[in-house]
Amino acid sequence: MYSDLVMDHFSNPRNVGEIPDADGVGTAGNPVCGDIMKIYIKVKDDCIEDIKFKTFGCGAAVATSSMVTEMVKGKTIEEALVITDKAVAEALGGLPANKMHCSNLAATTVHKAIEDYRSKVGAGSR
């Protein structure tokens, strides 16, 4: 069902955890669908310096979470915002059709974390 790359990210997920003093936190999904992702980012000089995730969900949810952290770590915020859920799925070599909807929210979650970061920075600077 899942490709080897998906299974690799599922079995050895990168960047699992929380960042207690995160600059931004994003959450997507809902428990009824069976997938919830939470992403923490640390931003320095407009760059995503550190990123961690926690995910409740199926194999695809875990793997996309892991993959997205690898994809955006060290990237600028602008670069991170360009990455789509679809791009994450592609980076994993594709996902089963029925997993494309609910379980493929990792980029969305990163965008939400960035939004959170921006709203805090905005609030702080205001």
Partner 1 sequence: MENKPDKVVYMDHSATTAVHPKVLDAMLPYFSERFGNASSIYGLAREARRALDQSRQTLAEGIGAKPEEIIFTSGGTESDNLALKGVADALRSKGNHIITSAIEHHAILHVCEYLSKRGYEITYLPVDKHGIVDPDAVGRAITEGTVLVSIMHANNEVGTIEPIAEIGRICKERKVVFHSDGVQAVGKLPIKVDELGVDLYSISAHKFYGPKGVGALYVRRRTPLIPQAQGGSQERNRRAGTENTAGIVGLATAIAMAEERRDDYNRKVGALRDRLIAGIQERIPSVCLNGHPTRRLSNNVNFCFQYVEGESILLNLDLMGVAASSGSACTSASLEPSHVLLAMGVQPEIAHGSVRLTLGYDNTEQEVDYVLSILPEIIERLRSMSPLYSKAGAAAGGGNG
Binding site for partner 1 (CB under 8 A): 1-2, 7, 10-18, 27, 31-38, 52, 54-59, 61-62, 98, 101-103
Distance from CA of residue 49 to its chain's centroid?
A: 14
Q: Give the residue from 104, 119, 98 showing the smallest Cα distance to 67.
A: 104
- In the complex, minimum distance from the CB of residue 110 to partner 1, in angstroms, rounded to a whole number: 15
Q: Choosing from 63, 71, 102, 105, which is the catalytic residue?
A: 102
Q: Choosing from 33, 56, 82, 90, which is the catalytic residue?
A: 33
- In the complex, minimum distance from the CB of residue 28 to partner 1, in angstroms, rounded to a whole number: 11
Distance CA 67, CA 89 (A): 9
Distance CA 81, CA 98 (A): 25
Pick 18 or 46: Cβ nearer partner 1:
18
